[in-house]
Amino acid sequence: MGILLLLVALIFEITFAIYCIVTEQNHKKIKNWISIAAFTVFVILTVSSVIVWSFRWVMLAILLFLLAIIGTVSLILKKSNIKQYKTSNIVWKSITMILTFVFVLSPVIIFPQHQSPKVTGEYEVATTTDTYVDKNRIEEFTNKGDNRFVNVEFWYPKNADGTYPLLVFSHGAYGIKTSNRSTYTELASHGYVVVSIDHPYHSFYTRSEEGTIATISSDFRDEFEKNMNKGVYSNEERYNIIQKWMKLRTDDMNFVIDTILKKSKNDNNSLYQHIDTEKIGVFGHSMGGAASVWLDRERNDISAVVNIDAPFFSELVYKKEMNDFVASSKDFTTPLLNIYSDDVWGQLENNSIYIANKLNNEHFKDAYTTHFKGAKHLSLTDLPLFSPILTNILQGGKADIDKLYCIETENELILKFFDFELKGIGHFTPKETY
């Protein structure tokens, strides 16, 4: 819709400028009436929900409102066509307005209004945020001696009347805790308490309840980008960096889970009282998926894991004599669902980082594995719906799979998996390819 509105604005401004030049008049009265009409149409479209009000429309609304006010005052004071006609003035005004519309419509274009993934559960979903401060850890990214804080957001059944399994989500590198909001909402609507973690300085942006802001660390970003470029780091260096990343991630996840378990015993907040602490699942995208699998190796209370497009970092063993990675020989016995995009699927056989993910790995013989054909790495998050342009830039092109179908199918699979493994509901037999 943003591009359509911009085209309308461009066509109007150019056509009106040509009309003024041909007739050698300013036609300010006509312009004033059109400004008033444009704002009126915008209000009607918003009230009728054709335009769903959100942050993306704020700048356009302000511009149309100001133009309508100026037009109304001008008509009342009868200031039409007072200024002497000059072609240069018409041209410059037209160019200025075109650039202004490009600016105010940029949020609508970058973050277009979109159809939300369906929510199929019986429960209305509520959300709440919190900040947990880990008094046993000093923040390594700031060198200020402060304790590390971890921001979390919960999605849970509103007006809950029972206890529900706890699901813990970890975002990918540069991600945010709302990266898979539609997944959390769908799960919560079916009777789960979902908590998503912002990993400060691994997250693009996070803000604590007290207002402390943490953006992505330049050191982490530099490490990550170099690690993605083959040949910058040796395999031994890559292995050590991965260990560091995973320790930070799993320490955050362990801390959050332990805090929630403690609050479920000592905190009167109804949210914590509705958590079934005997049924815990973890899941994550990309680096968060790797951390989820890793976390299961550290804890005995995790009953199900979903890995979304991530390597099994926990299963990598660096062999100095080979200068390469081999897969761990330890069986993985917790129920596991792997969901892969084309980006990862194509690396399972030829990238040693994914050696443990290979389909013939006997130590993961009971894992469920499925492939979303035509999907790219970010297709398995909500970002393609929220910002197709930004997604295509970050992942180097447009995915072939329909973005709404992809996320809805992924959400359905994750729900069925957790239902089967944590609640004993139904059966779970995913297709090999979607």
pLDDT tens for each residue of the chain, 434 residues long = 788 999 999 999 999 999 899 998 888 889 999 999 999 999 999 999 899 899 999 999 999 999 999 999 988 887 655 567 789 888 999 999 999 999 999 999 999 988 899 999 999 999 999 999 999 999 999 988 899 999 999 999 998 888 999 999 999 999 999 999 999 999 999 999 999 999 999 999 999 999 999 999 999 999 999 988 877 899 999 999 999 999 999 999 999 999 999 999 988 888 999 999 999 999 999 999 999 999 999 999 999 999 999 999 999 999 999 899 999 999 999 999 999 999 999 999 889 999 999 999 999 999 999 999 999 999 999 999 999 999 999 999 999 999 999 999 999 999 999 999 999 999 999 999 99
- pLDDT tens digits for range 316-331: 999 999 899 999 999 9
What's the confidence (pLDDT) of residue 83? Answer: 64
> Which positions ≥6 away from 360 have C-beta within 8 Å?
none
**Distance between CA 339 and CA 62 in Å, rounded?**
43
Please count the other Cβ atoms lying within 10 Å of the Cβ belonging to residue 410. Answer: 26
- Taking a C-beta distance cutoff of 8 angstroms, is the pair 294, 284 a contact? no
CATH code: domain 125-423 is 3.40.50.1820
Judged on CB neighbours under 10 Å (0-12, 13-18, 19+), 94 is buried
* Chain-centre distance for alpha carbon 278: 29
The residues spanned by each domain of the chain are 2-110, 125-423
User: Within 13 Å of residue 165, how many CA atoms lie on the same side as its CB?
Assistant: 24
Nearest to 297 by CA among 333, 324, 271, 322: 333
Residue found by looking up tokens 């419509």 in the block: 105
Query: Strands, DSSP E only, in 171-235?
Result: 193-198, 205-207, 213-215
